[in-house]
Amino acid sequence: MADFLQIFKDKVERRDARIGVVGLGYVGLPLAVEFAHAGLRTVGIDVDEVKVRTVNRGVSHIEDVPSAVLRPLVRKGLLRAQADYRGCRDLDAILIAVPTPLRKTRDPDISYIVAAVDKIAPQIRRGQTIVLESTTYPGTTDEVVRPALEAGGLKAGKDFFLAFSPERVDPSNAVFTTRNTPKIVGGTTARCAEAAAALYRQAVDQVHMVSSTQAAEMIKLLENTFRAVNIGLVNEIALMCHKLGLDVWEVIDGAATKPFGFMRFYPGPGIGGHCIPLDPHYLAWKLKTLNYSARFIELASEINSAMPRVVVQKASEMLNQRRKSLKGSKVVVLGVSYKRDTSDVRESPALDVLGLLHEAGASVTFADPYNDAVHIEGVGDLRGKPLTPALLRGADLVIVVTDHTAFDYDLVVRHAKQVLDTRNATRAVRRGRAKISKL
Ligand SMILES: NC(=O)c1ccc[n+]([C@@H]2O[C@H](COP(=O)([O-])OP(=O)(O)OC[C@H]3O[C@@H](n4cnc5c(N)ncnc54)[C@H](O)[C@@H]3O)[C@@H](O)[C@H]2O)c1
């Protein structure tokens, strides 16, 4: 009988394997580029035809993937994109990196995974390796993906290989990229893990194998829950410092001089992005089905999601000191992305801050070099303005919500009347006319 694992490994090592990446977003595109860069012919599959067209023109829609890197790979025929699932049978490995959002009820929405797997399942053949990369609750690969792929009669571990390998991409991180961030791999069987590990070794420097898909799924959720809980803790420490009349940033800097047993986390206007605000709820939901309440997750979520209100309350207090109310005041928000130096506004706390300010009757606008416009629930589309001295001078209050490095903070402090700095972005600014308050 043919040893499908050996055949697959040989093909991968000869760079002869053809790879499919489903979902060409923040995770999928860098991954596809990394495989193509390693010399493996890669096809990206995305239902978004605009993304498909731009990738095929060699133009990147993701900041971390420069078009100058993408274009030569497309020209050499190592990378192309398509908007349908034709030809999946001819691929040797298929990696799935589609969104995993939450429903309004905060329950996991794995419909994108199901949709992708339903398209792949009828085309599955012996010797293929399928890997789920989307963050999800422990059990998804084995309980949802596996039965769908096995429906045609082939068996995972025997006929094809199935694994879970969480993506750890940190958008805008110039030090740790897809290539030099170790990759976790858990297989449905040991042979499945071996197949997936052999594949990733072509594109990433270090692969760490674990005993099961569930362990790999849980590792990702531990990583993101760790961040959510620690950000929740430091946000609460910031609230405590405010009550005690202390500067939380000084307190964190001091604590961080301890060379062991402490890790810096920063307070801010709330958490955003596709991961930290959502992923822990995947875990909490799974535990709820086992009659267990994930208390740290719920508490951190409560604190973190209250931060935009804290920002607006603080804004109101600052205006009050100058005998002004939020109603009728001109407020400029700097930065709408969920984190520095990215355009991603998914779950961004800035959207909540803008919405709450609008609700309170303030006249709001924003400046963000990465975003021309944003949609605010209940308000509509809001267009940004360039950050100019006139904009700053005309504002009653400027709120730094996202600390993009492109902002000229000297200019901000020189021209604004009052600055609410939720990120300590103005720490290096010596003096100006603005009164600066921190979170
Ligand atoms: N963005 C991050 O920083 C990050 C980091 C680690 C893990 N993740 C996880 O990776 C997964 C993907 O996240 P992302 O940020 O890349 O999302 P994204 O929205 O940027 O990209 C997902 C892509 O999948 C496409 N898509 C949706 N349904 C599809 C389908 N049925 N078939 C083909 N394509 C489809 C979308 O058009 C989109 O281009 C999520 O589970 C997320 O939690 C994200």
Q: What is the 3-state secondary structure (H, E, C) of 214-229?
A: HHHHHHHHHHHHHHHH
Residue 420: what pLDDT?
98
| CB-based burial label for 174 (10 Å; 0-12, 13-18, 19+) | exposed
Dist CA 188 CA 88 (whole Å):
21
| Residue ranges in the chain modelled with pLDDT below 50 | none
In three-state secondary structure terms, 383 is strand
In three-state secondary structure terms, 416 is coil
In three-state secondary structure terms, 130 is strand
Distance (angstroms) between ligand 1 centre and the Cα of 99 equals: 4
Q: For ligand 1, atom 31, which residue shows the shortest CA distance?
A: 116
Residue 270: what pLDDT?
96
Pick from 216, 338, 232, 228: nearest CA to 284: 228
Q: For ligand 1, atom 37, which residue shows the shortest CA distance?
A: 48
Q: Which residues line ligand 1 (CB under 6 A)?
A: 22-28, 45-48, 51, 97-100, 112, 115-116, 134-135, 167-169, 171, 273-275
The one-letter amino acid code at 265 reads F
Q: Which residues pair with 376 in a beta bridge?
A: 380
Distance (angstroms) between ligand 1 centre and the Cα of 100 equals: 7
Phi first, then psi: what are they for 64, rounded to 5°?
-75, -10
Q: What is the token pair recorded at 67?
A: 């078009």
- Residues 101-144 pLDDT 10s: 999 888 999 999 999 999 999 999 999 999 999 999 999 999 99
In this structure, the number of other CB atoms found within 10 A of the CB of residue 264 comes to: 10
Mutate to test the pocket of ligand 1, among 29, 43, 46 (most ligand atoms within 8 A of CB): 46
Residue 173: what pLDDT?
86
Pick from 143, 151, 12, 23: nearest CA to 95: 23
- Which sign, positive or negative, has the C-alpha torsion 369, 371, 373, 376? negative
In this structure, the number of other CB atoms found within 10 A of the CB of residue 353 comes to: 29
Q: For ligand 1, atom 10, which residue shows the shortest CA distance?
A: 134
Residue 94: what pLDDT?
98
Q: Is 275 a catalytic residue?
A: yes
Dist CA 1 CA 3 (whole Å):
6
- Residues 17-60 pLDDT 10s: 999 999 999 999 999 999 999 999 999 999 999 999 999 999 99
Q: What is the token pair recorded at 217?
A: 């799924």
- Total residue length of the chain: 439
In three-state secondary structure terms, 62 is coil
Please tell me the pTM assigned to this model.
0.93
Dist CA 245 CA 35 (whole Å):
52
Dist CA 153 CA 166 (whole Å):
27
Pick from 435, 407, 405: nearest CA to 419: 435
Pick from 154, 224, 221: nearest CA to 192: 154
Dist CA 136 CA 282 (whole Å):
6
- Ramachandran region, residue 106 (left: φ > 0; alpha: ψ -120 to 50; beta: rest): left
- Which sign, positive or negative, has the C-alpha torsion 160, 123, 49, 134? negative
Dist CA 320 CA 323 (whole Å):
5
In three-state secondary structure terms, 318 is helix
Which pairs count as long-range contacts for 249-252, CB under 8 Å and 24+ apart, including other chains?
A: 249/424, 249/427, 249/438
Mutate to test the pocket of ligand 1, among 27, 29, 271, 346 (most ligand atoms within 8 A of CB): 27
